[in-house]
Structure 1
Amino acid sequence: MSLSVSIKKKFRDFNLDVNFENDGDYFGILGPSGSGKSMTLKCIAGLETPDEGRIIFNDRVLFDSQKNINIKPQDRKIGYLFQSYALFPNMTAEQNIACGLKSSKEDKKIKIRKMLELFHLDGLERKYMSQLSGGQQQRVALARIFAYEPEALLLDEPFSALDSHLKEELQTEVFEFLKLYKGHVLMVTHQRDEVYKFCKNLAVLNKGKSIIYGDTKVIFNEPRTVEAAKIIGCNNISPCRIISPGQIFVNDWDIVLQTEKSIPENITHVGIKAHSFKIADNNDDPNTMDCEIINITDELFEYSIAFKNRASENSKKLIYKIKKNEWDSRTNNVKLFLQIPEESIFMLT
């Protein structure tokens, strides 16, 4: 099972230019609002038509601008879960599930019953959408798609409409449902934790362009570009210059980082995530800063500590995040020394 997307589409103030491939594992598209995530899904589903390019799914050409191929949405065998779920408010749960099914009355009845049981909607089949919770509406929307038996399932910000206190529970629930689905699953989101949790492979979009794609965990560990590093949540990024094969001077932090890793010749920046620093006893070891704390923000489960390199007047602010119990249990609470582990240095272009 494979999907290949290489498309371009011009808008008044936005140009979509997306390229990626996936071999059937759960695939995510991550990017900020307005990056072209939903538009990419709509082009795959046939709801929008690219200006040029190709979309190939399971060796079947869905779109090819040069060959003038553009398969109708209803013939693409693709299910689309909209952010709003796109349910009909004047229909009951079972009527929404039945919508679009083309089969005999008896077969339709059997399939609806199966979907109601599968998605734990027993007893809710005659309820209207206004009578259901957000999670129940989502299950109805998924049941409608599953009943259609698509070869691919496109999820457009599937948890954005849910209250935060329900989100984690429903994420787990939806993931269990998706295990029963044998087709291709593609999800777009701006939430890093969602794509990391659900998706084996990932494309990162920014301003309409796919800037990197590949294995999700590899991208989170090696984002390679400044734009990708920002999108995956790297808080600390600085311009830099190479001093020697094993040394990089970091402009904004006024520190020389030593590394045995191969340094790309085209490196322009380095980055480190806020959680990747390690507390040290002193600054005798390489890549360690004597930290001047600027302020400490008390967050729900951790502290966010803004600091700069005490040894430099030119150092700009960095962010360090640490669990509350780890911070409170420090033996030396007078001074703070933070080391940048060599394996945690992002080398960026």
Structure 2
Amino acid sequence: MSLYVDIRKKLGDFTLETKFEVQDGVTGILGASGCGKSMTLRCIAGIMKPDEGHIELNGKVLFDSSMKINVRPQDRHVGLLFQNYALFPNMTVQQNLMAGLMACEKNKNTASQKIREILEKFELNGLERHKPSELSGGQQQRVALARIFLSSPDILMLDEPFSALDGYLRWNLEQELLDVLKDFAGPTLFVSHSRDEVYRICDRVCVMDHGISSPVIPVKQLFEAPESRAAALLSGCKNFARAKVTKAASAEQPGNVYVPDWGETLSYTGMSSGEIHYIGVRSHYIHPVTEQEAAAHPENTFPCHMEKVIDDVFSTVLMVRPEHAESSEKSRKQHFDKIRVEITKEFWQEFCEKEHPQDTVWLHVNPADVMVLK
């Protein structure tokens, strides 16, 4: 089974231009709030009509502007789980499920049997006469999912299903959802702004930035080798600076990239395609080193002024400014001239006992950890 989407939709000053293809398994759509994730799902479901483009599910055209095809939502066999679950507040659990089933099952006896089976499958026995307001967040989500499964959808789409829940409940529901997804044979789209959720739940991911989608890639590639600054930012990278490649890397030799915001030329090993405008380095890949270590290994090692030492819950965070950084208004506004270093408390304590840093600290980053980005 597969889904192909290539659509454009303008809404006020916002323009959605998304193009991707997904197969079976769970594909994440990752992006910040307002980037067009939910709009994409609504266009696939038929709730919103794109201005132009093509949507195809398992060989069936759901929308095509050139052929004037726009299949009704109820005929698309698409299961969409809304953020608020969209249960009918004045109906009981059983009535909610029946409402979802009667569109495709007209025989009431058969429908009742299917509802009994789905109640057991989703562990909802005993809640048949409860209304949504009498259910917990987890129970409401299971009812909404059960209603979707009763309609036998060809694709399952989940629109930030944990956004309204606290951390503890979110984790428990995530585990329950993973069990449910194991029993679904078709493709699943999982919309989220949480990189952690996408990493744990999804096989592949499509990054969206200001309405523009990137190609679908394996989730681990997003974290190990993102191609753009937007993708690296969504994957959790916190250190960025403007950059210009002075020597391209090859399979045999590392490359060099000049970073004016840090006043340094760094070596890197990652292969890149397209024009490079930034570098990114993850906070926990930057390491304080002693002056002796800096002298012995000068590559990608440079001095920084320490501005803050922050005692975080499970780590120590250093906020530093490279000593040779070029000062500019853009650099300051974008925080390109600042570097965040995240290390264990134990490491920092031992480092301070040995080195006694005052205003300056030497930092080192391995060439393999320097990401060159579009």
TM-score tier by shorter-chain length is: over 0.9
1:255 is aligned to 264
Q: Please say if 1:280 is aligned against 2:292.
A: no
1:143 is aligned to 146
- When structure 1 is superposed on structure 2, of 64-73 and 108-117 the one drifting more is 108-117
For residues 10 and 68 of structure 2, the distance between their equivalents in structure 1, rounded to whole angstroms, comes to 18
1:72-91 equivalences in 2 (<5 Å): 72-91=72-91
> TM-score, normalised on structure 1?
0.93
For residues 274 and 143 of structure 2, the distance between their equivalents in structure 1, rounded to whole angstroms, comes to 53
1:147-162 equivalences in 2 (<5 Å): 147-162=150-165
Q: Is the 8 A contact 1:213 1:219 kept in 2?
A: no
- Secondary structure of 1:27 counterpart: strand
Q: Please say if 1:324 is aligned against 2:349.
A: no
1:126 is aligned to 129
Q: Shift of residue 213 of structure 1?
A: 2.9
For residues 181 and 262 of structure 1, the distance between their equivalents in structure 2, rounded to whole angstroms, comes to 37
For residues 46 and 261 of structure 1, the distance between their equivalents in structure 2, rounded to whole angstroms, comes to 41
For residues 183 and 270 of structure 2, the distance between their equivalents in structure 1, rounded to whole angstroms, comes to 42
Q: Please say if 1:243 is aligned against 2:246.
A: yes
- Cα deviation digits, residues 180-229 of structure 1 (max 9, x gap): 11121101111111111111111111111114432221122222122222
Q: Shift of residue 262 of structure 1?
A: 4.3
- Secondary structure of 1:307 counterpart: strand
- Secondary structure of 1:8 counterpart: strand
Tell me which amino acid in the other structure corresponds to 2:247: S
1:33-48 equivalences in 2 (<5 Å): 33-48=33-48
- When structure 1 is superposed on structure 2, of 49-58 and 21-30 the one drifting more is 21-30
- Secondary structure of 2:197 counterpart: helix
Tell me which amino acid in the other structure corresponds to 1:173: E
2:252 is aligned to none
- Secondary structure of 1:126 counterpart: coil
Q: 1:262 to 1:222 in 2, by over 3 A?
A: closer
Q: Is the 8 A contact 1:87 1:96 kept in 2?
A: yes
1:234 is aligned to 237
Moved over 6 A (4+): none
Q: Please say if 1:99 is aligned against 2:99.
A: yes
1:301 is aligned to 314
- Cα deviation digits, residues 119-162 of structure 1 (max 9, x gap): 12122222111111111111111111111111111100110111
Q: Shift of residue 99 of structure 1?
A: 1.4
- Secondary structure of 2:25 counterpart: coil
Give the total of aligned pairs: 349
- Secondary structure of 2:185 counterpart: coil
Q: 1:17 to 1:263 in 2, by over 3 A?
A: closer
1:14 is aligned to 14
Q: Is the 8 A contact 2:302 2:362 kept in 1?
A: yes
Q: 1:36 to 1:61 in 2, by over 3 A?
A: same
Q: Is the 8 A contact 2:100 2:150 kept in 1?
A: no
- Cα deviation digits, residues 225-255 of structure 1 (max 9, x gap): 2222222222111111233343211111122
Structure 2 residue runs without a partner (length 5+): 249-254, 328-335
For residues 273 and 79 of structure 1, the distance between their equivalents in structure 2, rounded to whole angstroms, comes to 37
User: How much identity, in percent, do the aligned residues show?
Assistant: 42
Q: Shift of residue 111 of structure 1?
A: 1.4
Q: Is the 8 A contact 2:242 2:260 kept in 1?
A: yes
Structure 1 residue runs without a partner (length 5+): none
Tell me which amino acid in the other structure corresponds to 1:33: S
Residue in structure 2 matching 1:209, options 208, 212, 216: 212
1:113 is aligned to 116
Q: 1:113 to 1:235 in 2, by over 3 A?
A: same
For residues 39 and 264 of structure 1, the distance between their equivalents in structure 2, rounded to whole angstroms, comes to 30
The structure in which a higher percent of residues are helix is 2
For residues 279 and 173 of structure 1, the distance between their equivalents in structure 2, rounded to whole angstroms, comes to 42
- Secondary structure of 1:99 counterpart: helix
For residues 128 and 324 of structure 1, the distance between their equivalents in structure 2, rounded to whole angstroms, comes to 49
Q: Shift of residue 279 of structure 1?
A: 4.2
Q: Is the 8 A contact 2:241 2:337 kept in 1?
A: no
Tell me which amino acid in the other structure corresponds to 1:332: K
CA RMSD of aligned residues (A): 2.0
Tell me which amino acid in the other structure corresponds to 2:244: R
